[in-house]
Amino acid sequence: MSFNSVGLGLSIEQMHKYVSPVNPAVYPHLTLVLMGIGLFFMAWFFIYEVTSTKFTRDIFKELLISLVAAVFLGFGVLFLLLWVGIYV
């Protein structure tokens, strides 16, 4: 018995198996590296906010540092979830 996909006429045996673009063996390494970089930028942002006065602050620098920290921490958390088996 062959199941056809919708309108393509392919059986399950003819379809290709999906392979993840990132090898699951590197999830722990990606997690630690991305979270480390994100924590570095987060600490830099906090130190910048504490040590600068309202006259010396630059909104573009704040936005750039916080954006970089958010991106690295976001991908770090993504790979952390994948590492522990929560597939999102």
pLDDT in tens, 15-29: 888 888 999 999 999
Is pLDDT at 7 greater than 70 in this prediction?
no
Tokens in use for 33?
């590296």
Q: Where are the domains of the chain?
A: 29-83
Cα–Cα distance list, 18 to 4, 12, 22, 64 (Å)? 18, 12, 12, 36
- Report pLDDT digits (tens) over 65-84: 999 999 999 999 999 999 99
Helix 27-51 to helix 59-83 angle (10° resolution) is 150
Tokens in use for 73?
């921490």
Is pLDDT at 11 greater than 70 in this prediction?
yes
